[in-house]
Amino acid sequence: MRKLLLGTTALAAAATLTANAALADVSISGGYEFKYASRSSNVTANDGTTFGHSDTDLTINFTNKTDSGLDITYRVDFDVFGNTESGAATMDEISLAIAGGFGKVVLGRDDDAGDAYNLDESDIIGEDASPSVTSATIGTSSSITSDDAMKIAYHLPAMGGLTAGISHTDRGAEGGTDSTSYGARYTMEAAGAAITLGYAAVNDENPTQDVDQENMGLKIVTGDLSLVISQGGTESDDEDIENQGAAISYAMPNGMTVGAYTFKSEDDLDAGEEYSRSGVEVQYTVASGLTAFINVDDYDYKEGGSDASATHVDDSGTQTTLTIRASF
């Protein structure tokens, strides 16, 4: 009799665990980008053709709804190759999100809050800024930077067309760089167009002088035509960088989207240091989940009086990139 009771208890416990596990919905998504780039540069080390890859990610989401109505999401994002040919897979982001009528709280390793509200010239362009130049300081986009350090973030519930959020990273030990990031977006309809205003900022505490970044942008979408203009900047003890960008894109009926973009960055504290880039993009949806991109970028970098100028060199040229993106 005792064995029967123990067996019945074990079966009941297993059934309970199975029932609880069944409450969680699991979704898996991923993506891979293969790139071929041909670059004509006045810097020998940058001149030539290369194969590469990016956005090699795998994301797993576990979601559950509590009896009290809270939505709980456990998210794990892997950077499969670490963006290097020989790099091992790394856990890029791992976080817990709790959402309800009060808004959403995100705990763990995830993007800064401001990253969700940033608006820059690449917002309507499929591929990110390219090509890179030999400089550690000048801007290549008017967006703010974001890292995946441990943090707590809070996002307000949407109020009409307004969304906003704030996050804080506490690196603990003395000398560590704590960060606070915040931002907001406001979307409205006017004359048949969807208009979005965005603002985002990051403040990194620094022993000598805080590093402040900000971004503001305007996005207009009317029918198949989209337009973005943006500006931003970075200030620190030895940098005063101003960034400006703009882009336009048009979605054609045949599944092709064409776009053009321009960007310029100047550092007022490093006299003469500037970077400019202009380009065009054609993206074509080959099939569901499979997209091809062709980008042609013309760029020019002048190191001027930049810091550590021995490692910063003037560079100008043209790069053509073919990207094949698969999303799952």
**How confident is the model over 291-324, as pLDDT tens digits?**
999 999 999 998 876 655 556 788 999 999 999 9
pLDDT tens digits, residue range 58-92? 999 999 999 999 999 999 998 866 544 555 556 78
pLDDT at 17 over 50: no
Mean pLDDT for the stretch of residues 36-54: 90
Sign of CA dihedral 109, 113, 116, 122: negative
Q: Which fold has domain 30-59+114-327?
A: Porin (2.40.160)
CA distance 283 to 71: 36
Q: What is the pLDDT of residue 136?
A: 58
Q: What is the pTM of this model?
A: 0.84
Q: What is the pLDDT of residue 23?
A: 66
CA distances in angstroms from 239 to 137, 139, 173, 236, 285, listed in the order given: 8, 11, 26, 5, 41
Mean pLDDT for the stretch of residues 141-145: 88
- Domain coordinates of the chain in residue numbers? 30-59+114-327
Peptide bond into 157 cis (omega under 30): no
CA distance 117 to 300: 29
Q: Strands of the chain (E only): list them.
A: 25-41, 48-65, 71-79, 90-100, 103-109, 150-155, 162-169, 179-190, 193-204, 211-222, 225-235, 240-251, 256-267, 274-287, 290-302, 315-327
Please check whether residue 261 is in contact with residue 281, taking contact to mean a CB–CB distance below 8 angstroms.
Answer: yes
Amino acid at 20: N
Mean pLDDT score across all residues of the chain: 86
Q: What is the pLDDT of residue 244?
A: 96
Helix, coil or strand: residue 73: strand
Helix, coil or strand: residue 135: coil
Mean pLDDT for the stretch of residues 101-120: 95
pLDDT tens digits, residue range 220-261? 999 999 999 999 999 988 789 999 999 999 999 988 999 999
